[in-house]
Chain A
């Protein structure tokens, strides 16, 4: 490691490619460059060159001294959102051809009949079936019709598919038919990407498993081709080391193993944030935090508890359910570009429609006419910089858009702007309440970490709404994800469904021996090195319930029955907190067991060197407590370290403004992290209270 002391992270987004470099002594550099969507590797290599220049090294020399490159990519997400994934076929059980297309007969926006469902990733003409059937215990009741699989293969070949998903009913209990079908397809369709449900998402629920397997097939070839090209480029530049790909669960896997589980990269970009948050909260010594990232079009929230981030198996990117564990990143359509309008009833509604980057907010002068959150923030005087290169937003254009909205609402322009700011904060707070409640967390006991261009503008008001005592804005908040990726752990998840598996169907309760045996199977499958840390989780419910709570097993040295008893006790307690009741007299059952295998990163903690220019301090008029007042504008880097300052103030950092209203105090740490808290409290007191928080959360 010593001859290759550098770590490099590259976060390729749709618009920007962010890079971060971690040096041997904790020194960090970052660099931002434009993405090149038609060939993402181009922008990536250009970015590496820029990063090397900042480090004062030729690119080859930097790569020669780099021990690992961590890569996050939105390439699969973009393929999904733009409908440019692989031409995909699906092979499923005879009789159940339309499980995927019927979407369980549900419509997200119930009353909107003037709309169409999300376009299917596989058209019906490419869904083939084979006669085969397993019963609810995994026993074969109809053997696999291999000729039917051959016929399907022929049709797939004729249709020119690049990828095939295979998903049979109850295959999570017995993968024999799927395995055989995959063998036949592999032989018949050389070069075609295969996605098999019993490998990708081996757990109960046919619809979700099919959707996950199809998504994996749809984006798999896209990721595979990208990574092949990238590996070639890096090799040509003389980089011999490992490339790790960021997963939706916040961990990384080696490049060679990423494409087969491409569905695991659908949140690869935002998945870097929690690791960065973990680094920040480690600096402060607080155990629980919630990260919000508010950009141009969306507002994303993720939770981190005890250094472990909230995970969900119920995500629905672009309306397609995914049942593999992903960071529980809640997204609502609230961003700087969110459009504010008056309803026909005369009330204000912000979002979910967004002006996006094009035409963008009215003040950008690119043809947008409708008032957006950014326009309101600008009129209120909250934006002290942080716009894109060369962009000087027009207060006049903002004013005329907001004035027009005010006419519909019967309000003056400034009142309307303040209303938009207030309403979008409240909407974000509502979504945070739901996100935390689902994990059994109380937002008032967490620290709020704010990132994204618009996050720090709104964070303090948001915290006030939620009763949050501390807002944290890390240095380099605009490249937060890339910084997080520098420290991502190797993580893999393994699942085994117990429901319907082999035991007496009349039995109730949890069988400790069965649990231990299942975890032994999972640990074997994890194929991990000596420094691995296992976390055992169980999806638990009352007998007869439909949904489960994912409960971590308590750490009991003896394991076995004591661990199970502790798990059950914890389940009753969490159930009461989440749903307002518990039924301790009713037996519980375990649907799935989950194993998280985490190998911690060897990366050192950050000690960022100052970078970038110090912007001159000044004053500007900003709207607080119902009036405009003169408010100091300061560069974060000009604030003396660890010295308490009082609001109101506007703190200009890289790419954003931290709005500190009156009644709040702030301090900047040696690492450049800004802390904001109520002015009637001391920093030490706030941190001490948060450090005492130990929440029992579900995952």
Chain B
């Protein structure tokens, strides 16, 4: 078999192994976060090249290489068969603390050949946060429990002292323990499959195939970049704030230089890091650029270290895109990632809007944590329909697909499973009329959710951004921006309060949170949208008659089946706060 063919075959096999690991995780996980696929898998070769991944949440994948380097920095030369390493500390290679990374070396006939990696967002990582997020954190100590690279298994034996040290610091220890098992189990499955592959093909042919694959990935990415017009393109996007201790917008500034098949992403002019949990580590910035790239290049491009090697990313220590110790960082995979992705896409639009996307919704989530009075078990849950994606030339955005962080790889927890697992009720969850940015191709729709808390004393964090004029999803090529994320809390006693983004609330039984999430931005002049498509949107209740007339320029009324119900409070349900489900 020629090298090219072998590289194609081995590359597919490596990808299949990464998928098999992810499949095992999906089917054996515990937490709501893992259930919504907030995890990735990866494979490294013995030289540390990142060679395969299953990236349900791509922002976690692009930072796998730095986690590997973190383990190597401490354990190079001291790695044995049957070892398992774990880390979460952002200043030892990890992207941010909630995404705990597990790495397992793979020895074939006594020689280290590969590493398998699994990484997922845990339900609890200590600190003062809920589901890993502490809007009140001033530094990395208040952010989360810090786990530097440590050896969790030695020669196949679990190091119970380390295991207990980690779990003792967590309120949701059962979920975390289950999900750690799930990660380690998947890493072992990957190991088993890699060994079978080495036996089948032989070591040397596999290593040769891996080299060819990495070179091909780099070539593929360069070929994609070469299609962009040369030039330097600038863009600025903002985070709404940095947490409770920094209530000002923060700028991410990018100068993108394209020259032939080279691209340099220069973020050095970005704002300084802040006191608060929104800072991005360099690992997270790299991962964000990579996902932005994959979002605008050939979907068949392999997402591995070869592609990463094809671009240069410049950051300056001490800035919002390259935080240094002791900055807090737990929010960085959401808001900072989105701002970084937006700068890349917006800068590219200045080269040619046809390459790229209108703005996607920003992450804007409410997460509740506590102990369920009905079951005595800890729970963690979120309660809003996600926002929509930005339109591209030729296609509307996707509805409720969530922020670019996941590129649609996440999956909402089912309404019934949500209510069985947490003391909360989804009263309403659906698309909101006119929530998408208008355009010849409109954005995907945003959501409207009404989420009732069914027991007292539940801590709820509101995290994310996109609530300011300057952070809503932007339109492209004449397309319009989408409305902002926003919410109110209707308390059981009749009070109505507006939660501040990036803050923690304590809610009680019968309190209802109403959440509007942004749709995506539009692409192209809305007046050029197909009239049939506008009419269909009106009939489906997705675009109002007023917007059809005023924004899309529809001159004739739409006849046909109007939607039978509007979104909005259902008074019967709101009034019903006697929760019969609690014994």
Contacts and interface: CB of A to CB of B under 8 A. Distances in A.
Interface in A86-109: 94-99, 101-107, 109
Contact of B581 (A139, A151, A159): A139
Given A437-B20, A581-B181, A102 B415 contact: no
Contacts of A169: 415-416
Interface in A573-616: 575, 578-581, 583, 586
A433 B401 contact: no
23 contacts: A98-B400, A98-B430, A107-B401, A107-B407, A110-B58, A117-B398, A123-B536, A124-B541, A124-B563, A170-B416, A205-B416, A344-B223, A345-B217, A345-B221, A347-B7, A349-B8, A411-B5, A415-B2, A419-B8, A465-B200, A505-B375, A546-B417, A579-B186
Nearest to B213: A347
B410 to A, nearest CB: 6
Interface stretch (B92-100, B251-259, B385-393): B385-393
Contacts of B542: 124
Contacts of B19: 434
Contacts of B398: 107, 113, 117
Given A345-B219, A427-B12, A102 B20 contact: no
Nearest to B185: A580
A204 B420 contact: yes
B540 A102 contact: no
B299 A112 contact: yes
Interface string A347-368: 1110000000000000000000
A6 interface: no
B430 A345 contact: no
A579 B28 contact: yes
Given A135-B580, A434-B23, A207 B300 contact: no
A136 B420 CA distance: 6
Contacts of B565: 94, 97, 128-129
Contacts of A141: 576, 580
A443 to B, nearest CB: 11
B561 A105 contact: no
Contacts of A581: 28, 181-182, 184-185, 188
B395 A206 contact: no
Interface stretch (B311-319, B421-429, B457-465): B421-429
Given A102-B430, A547-B29, 19 more contacts: A94-B428, A95-B430, A98-B400, A106-B401, A106-B409, A107-B408, A112-B299, A124-B540, A129-B565, A135-B579, A152-B564, A344-B301, A345-B301, A415-B2, A422-B9, A545-B178, A580-B189, A581-B181, A581-B185
B5 to A, nearest CB: 4
Nearest to B55: A110
A131 B34 CA distance: 33
B238 to A, nearest CB: 23
Contacts of A135: 419, 425, 579-581
Contacts of A411: 2, 4-5
B557 interface: no
B216 interface: yes
A126 B561 contact: yes
A345 B261 CA distance: 13
Contacts of A545: 28-30, 178
B175 interface: yes
Interface string A235-265: 0000000000000000000000000000000
Contacts of A170: 416, 419
A186 interface: no
A601 B542 CA distance: 53
A137 B581 contact: yes
B409 A344 contact: no
A219 to B, nearest CB: 23
A345 B223 contact: yes
A111 B572 CA distance: 42
B298 interface: yes
Contacts of A38: none
A409 interface: yes
A346 interface: yes
B539 interface: yes
Interface string B553-568: 0000000111111000
Nearest to B539: A125
B16 to A, nearest CB: 4
Given A96-B430, A102-B399, A111-B299, A580 B541 contact: no
A206 B420 CA distance: 12
B110 interface: no
A111 B12 CA distance: 18
A588 B9 CA distance: 40
A155 B9 CA distance: 55
Q: Which of A96, A124, A128, A409 has the most CB of B within 10 A?
A: A124
A133 B295 CA distance: 41
B62 to A, nearest CB: 13
A139 B396 CA distance: 41
Contact of A95 (B181, B300, B570): B570
Interface in B1-47: 1-2, 4-5, 7-9, 11-13, 16, 19-20, 23-30, 34-35, 37
B294 A111 contact: yes
A125 B558 CA distance: 13
A102 B357 contact: no
B407 A110 contact: yes
Interface in A418-443: 418-419, 422-423, 426-427, 430-431, 433-434, 437-438
Contacts of B298: 343-344
B573 interface: yes
B182 A579 contact: yes
A94 B184 CA distance: 42
A542 interface: yes
B184 A102 contact: no
B50 to A, nearest CB: 16
Contacts of B139: none
A422 B376 contact: no
A423 B9 contact: yes
Contact of A111 (B181, B295, B579): B295
Contacts of B564: 128-129, 151-152, 155
Contact of B573 (A142, A430, A433, A583): A142
Contact of B24 (A94, A158, A579): A579
A430 B7 CA distance: 15
Contact of A99 (B394, B401, B415, B581): B415
Contacts of B189: 579-580
Interface in A57-114: 94-99, 101-107, 109-114
B178 A95 contact: no
A631 to B, nearest CB: 20
A155 to B, nearest CB: 6
B244 interface: no
A587 to B, nearest CB: 11
A346 B219 contact: yes
Contacts of A129: 564-565
A116 interface: yes
A547 B26 contact: yes
A560 interface: no
Nearest to A140: B580
Given A547-B27, A578-B24, A348 B8 contact: yes
Contact of A544 (B58, B175, B570): B175
A158 B572 contact: no
B138 interface: no
A164 to B, nearest CB: 14
B503 to A, nearest CB: 25
Contacts of A97: 430, 565
B61 to A, nearest CB: 11
Contacts of B581: 135-137, 139
A116 B539 contact: no
